[in-house]
Structure 1
Amino acid sequence: MVHLLDNSTLTAPLPPVVTELGRLFVAAGYELSLVGGPVRDLFLNRTSPDLDFTSNATPDQTLNVIRPWADSYWEMGRDFGTIGLRKDGFMIEVTTYRAEAYDPASRNPVVAFGDTLEDDLLRRDFTINSMALRLPSMELVDPYGGLKDLKAGLLRTPGAPSSSFSDDPLRMMRAARFASQLGIEVAPDVSEAMTAMAQRITIISAERVRDELVKLVLGDAPQRGIDLMVESGLADHVLPEVSALRLEIDEHHRHKDVYQHSLTVLEQACRLETGADGAVPGPDFVLRFAALMHDVGKPATRKFEPSGAVSFRHHDMVGSKLTAKRMKALRFDNDSIKAVARLVELHMRFYGYGEAGWSDSAVRRYVNDAGNLLERLHRLTRSDVTTRNQRKAERLAFAYDDLEARIEALAEQEELESIRPDLDGAQIMGLLNIKPGPVVGRAYRFLLEERMEHGPQSAEKAEAVLRTWWASQPESATS
């Protein structure tokens, strides 16, 4: 199917660099088409600084065309038929018509160049990404009904889903990602193929799986993408801890559906993100992934008590370790691993505040333990309330309002975000006449505990407390 388009037809404007590049290729005797996601986004009122093109020109021929025109260019993707360039702030890739497949035992794609645009489109992942805009004529080439599927909110593959997922199993993850990003429904045959072939995702490198997972979690409705992964069995291989949350619900309903609860917490955490000028600009991966993973320690800690109740003691600590282990397996960076695991570890810390109340020292410890994750912890804790009991929900919300107010009040008085002992290391060594070493660290930690417990003290009071502590230490006799 071919339609002639112009800018008035599209919901998003077409950047001038697109038609400029098209004219350059045609003048040199080659075909050029804008293809894939950028074409799809033209009908979704979305724009992207990244533009993908396909051509019958070889990489060498593409270089000859773009060298005089591009602001800069690079050849890292030459073996895959891709030349990258930058023009007027846009990142552009031009790829020779191609086929891409995986050897059943390999993690790496095998690339073969194709001959026609239509054949190139057939080899793409989904029909909504199998549309091309011929340039500079502005002809929409849509042989597989991508525009119709986009309007219907349906995700289909150009050919047989099993063939598409066999060629590149990562496409199954992309299906879940599009469910999250676009709110799109997956066609029944696509869902069936995902379920039948889920195990094949294991041949894909952890890094590529991780990148798709991040895009999914940052989508508009990540709970939909996660649910598709779980229902299809993909999560059994990518996030087995989340699949395991589907605990068998006992007939007496002595505990909530942990899996559905986790999806609800994820959804609520997304809604609590603030704008770009706020404390947690959205979309925020750390908050969202912590919300998804916060209860993954429950399956391993579930216990049926003699009273008939169900307990999950220490599931926060167990969940933190499981989260860190999974993120390491997916090759996440250390900072992200530490942040998400720490939030999972701390997500239960608030409970009990409403009943017993906390001393100022307990509030200080809460802030100190959260560190730069405090704003995310606020949102995670609030998101974790999914009870249908309105009174309980209101009581918890009121208690957390009170805790945040106390944190704010103490912060104004004591600079909570930078809590330090009242004496630094140099002062400790001078006062006790000791050299750098483990003893200084012990003294520093002692003074930090004093600061947490009693708040800021004068230098004289801190010195007196330190001297009293020092008198009880075995090293004091030899100093």
Structure 2
Amino acid sequence: MNLKHKLDEHEVFGRVAETSFRLGLESYVVGGYVRDLVLGRPSKDIDFTCVGSGIHLAQEVAKTYQEHVPLSVFKNFGTAMLKLDDWELEFVGARKESYRTESRKPIVEDGTLMEDLERRDFTINAMAISLNRENYGELVDPFDGLGDMKRKLIRTPLEPGITFSDDPLRMMRAVRFAAQLNFDIDADTFYALSENASRLQIISAERIIDELNKIILTPKPSYGFKLLFASKLLHEFFPEMVELQGVDSVDDKSHKDNFYHTLQVLDNVCQTSDDLWLRWAAIMHDIAKPATKRFSPKVGWTFHGHEDKGAKMTPGIFRRLKLPMDDRMKYVQKLVRLHLRPIALVKDEVTDSALRRLLFDAGNDIEDLMKLCRADITSKNNKKVQRYLENFDKVDQKLKEVEEKDQIRNFQPPVSGEEIMATFGIPPSKIIGDIKEEIKEAILEGRIQNNPEEARALMLKIALEKGLSPIEKS
């Protein structure tokens, strides 16, 4: 296969080819850019390999531009990077690698193109396009990566057990590529995942979570999670999710498999949002069901309080997985804690007070909460699903009506602590918080409107009951 017509679409390939010829270097386009070019996927990252110094080649290519081109050199890694508008060009010399069992960092030596390609993770990433005059544009494909693309198969160039033992992060990458491309994993390659799963222990949590988040951001992440589960990779870093799997039965009473339910909820969320943290809320929403599972002969299986327990578990799981401990974690925690609340509001006799409280607690995340709740309807009975969705439509309408009327979302009590202290001439104390809480409760219960006039009138009434009198103004 000759891809010269593809290379001609961007002038940089001819420029690198001419520079390489002038320097007497063999050079090639390699790796992910070649894969994406064949698959017709857009890519702005181009990797160039030469038999010689990649840094020197990058420096000479940069000189061919009249305008200044940002050049970054990483001598310790033998690489250099050029930035052209929104393109990133990385240059490296061909190399071979060897590994020690306790580390995924290789011992690197200069090598041939073939040695460079065989060290790569998968056959679809072990292809190159020649930039040399005698065969410019020719595809170099020693491991039949092109055939594996046609077969939609993830396979390692060399023996998979060695490939994964050398660099265990490649196991996560195998699942990630399978999920992103909707490919299968070759049988021998998948067997090696299971055999080497424990090797993930030498990989940092940051590298693992980076790959996991890429899986979560695929159009149907359940596929990636099923591969992680079946290969036992998930067991190595996310045991809480693994514990969701399985069905218990007592006296012919069973509960659903909460692992596969969670994956369906996750896929459902992906149909309405590409937000990573809403997807994490879907993953976490039932995470505490194993810890709260109880059986009662009268009602069967229950998971009482799993929403509160799950919210408490969220910070610890995020911290261990090296996920952010900022507002993104708090957002996930909030949705986990509230995810059952809208279900209770589907009854026709729901009160405005309950709606106000949900709006107050959810704030600006109410729309995402409703997306999660809709995604949580996973019955195989289509009529039942449709009935629940129609009920949620009613809840949505009721929430909009109450919000328009009462302006509850993210509201701050109309009377501040400073105003209470100034009105009654008292220092900071518990009584101020008590007055503010009573005013908030009165607004949420609908006893007063959410405005300063009614709030101040109630403030005076509460204060009088507590023995406080407003100070006279001179």
Does the TM-score normalized on the shorter chain lie above 0.5?
A: yes
1:4 and 2:9 matched: no
Match of 1:98 in 2: 95
Letter in 2 for 1:46: R
Match of 2:130 in 1: 134
- Once the two structures are overlaid, the 10-residue window that deviates more, 153-162 or 418-427, is 418-427
How many Å separate the matches in 2 of 1:364 and 1:174? 46
- Once the two structures are overlaid, the 10-residue window that deviates more, 356-365 or 191-200, is 356-365
1:72 and 2:70 matched: yes
Match of 2:49, SS?
Answer: strand
How many Å separate the matches in 1 of 2:360 and 2:470? 35
Match of 1:278 in 2: none
How many Å separate the matches in 2 of 1:71 and 1:410? 57
Aligned 8 A contact 2:288 2:306 in 1: yes
How many Å separate the matches in 2 of 1:459 and 1:221? 49
Aligned 8 A contact 1:422 1:451 in 2: no
Aligned 8 A contact 2:19 2:57 in 1: no
1:18 Cα deviation from its structure 2 partner: 3.2
Residues 6-405 of structure 1 mapped to structure 2, 5 A cutoff: 6-7=4-5, 14-68=9-63, 69=65, 71-75=69-73, 77-100=74-97, 102-106=99-103, 109-135=105-131, 137-250=136-249, 252=252, 254-273=254-273, 282=274, 284-307=275-298, 309-334=300-325, 335-355=327-347, 357-405=349-397
Residues 455-470 of structure 1 mapped to structure 2, 5 A cutoff: 456-470=449-463
How many Å separate the matches in 2 of 1:101 and 1:300? 44
How many Å separate the matches in 1 of 2:466 and 2:42? 66
Aligned 8 A contact 2:131 2:137 in 1: yes
Aligned 8 A contact 2:253 2:301 in 1: no
Aligned 8 A contact 1:31 1:56 in 2: yes
Match of 1:7, SS?
Answer: helix
Aligned 8 A contact 1:130 1:146 in 2: yes
Match of 2:405 in 1: 413
Counting aligned pairs with the same residue, the percent is: 35
Distance change (3 Å), C-alpha of 1:84 and 1:438: farther
Match of 1:276 in 2: none
Q: Deviations over 1:36-61 (max 9, x none)?
A: 11111112221122222222232542
How many Å separate the matches in 2 of 1:56 and 1:208? 30
Match of 1:355, SS?
Answer: coil
How many Å separate the matches in 1 of 2:9 and 2:331? 40
How many Å separate the matches in 1 of 2:293 and 2:388? 24
Q: Deviations over 1:86-141 (max 9, x none)?
A: 013212211222344553223x5134033211111101111111111122611211
Letter in 2 for 1:177: R
Match of 1:83, SS?
Answer: strand
How many Å separate the matches in 2 of 1:165 and 1:336? 33
Structure 1 residue ranges without an equivalent (≥5): 274-281
How many Å separate the matches in 2 of 1:160 and 1:53? 26
How many Å separate the matches in 1 of 2:51 and 2:437? 67
How many Å separate the matches in 2 of 1:337 and 1:418? 19
Aligned 8 A contact 2:247 2:254 in 1: no
1:453 Cα deviation from its structure 2 partner: 2.2
Pick the structure with greater CA Rg. 2
Q: Deviations over 1:288-310 (max 9, x none)?
A: 12212221111111111122610
Letter in 2 for 1:258: N
Structure 2 residue ranges without an equivalent (≥5): none
Aligned 8 A contact 1:85 1:92 in 2: yes
Aligned 8 A contact 1:101 1:168 in 2: no
Distance change (3 Å), C-alpha of 1:219 and 1:18: farther
Q: Deviations over 1:46-89 (max 9, x none)?
A: 112222222223254235324424620223x4312221220132
Aligned 8 A contact 1:59 1:83 in 2: yes
Q: Deviations over 1:337-393 (max 9, x none)?
A: 222222222211122222364322221221222223222211111000011233432
1:250 Cα deviation from its structure 2 partner: 2.4
How many Å separate the matches in 2 of 1:86 and 1:322? 43
Letter in 2 for 1:469: I
Aligned 8 A contact 2:339 2:369 in 1: yes
How many Å separate the matches in 1 of 2:125 and 2:455? 67
How many Å separate the matches in 2 of 1:423 and 1:105? 62
Aligned 8 A contact 1:254 1:308 in 2: no
Match of 1:277 in 2: none
Letter in 2 for 1:64: Q
1:433 and 2:425 matched: yes
Aligned 8 A contact 1:35 1:133 in 2: yes
Aligned 8 A contact 2:58 2:91 in 1: no
How many Å separate the matches in 1 of 2:98 and 2:393? 54
Aligned 8 A contact 1:17 1:87 in 2: no
Match of 2:271, SS?
Answer: helix
How many Å separate the matches in 2 of 1:22 and 1:372? 54
1:478 Cα deviation from its structure 2 partner: 12
TM, length-normalised to structure 2: 0.90
1:407 Cα deviation from its structure 2 partner: 1.7
1:464 Cα deviation from its structure 2 partner: 1.9
Distance change (3 Å), C-alpha of 1:133 and 1:446: farther
The equivalent position to 2:440 in structure 1, one of 403, 424, 448, is 448
How many Å separate the matches in 2 of 1:253 and 1:117? 62
Match of 1:279 in 2: none
TM, length-normalised to structure 1: 0.90
Aligned 8 A contact 2:269 2:375 in 1: yes
Match of 1:350, SS?
Answer: helix
Letter in 2 for 1:368: F
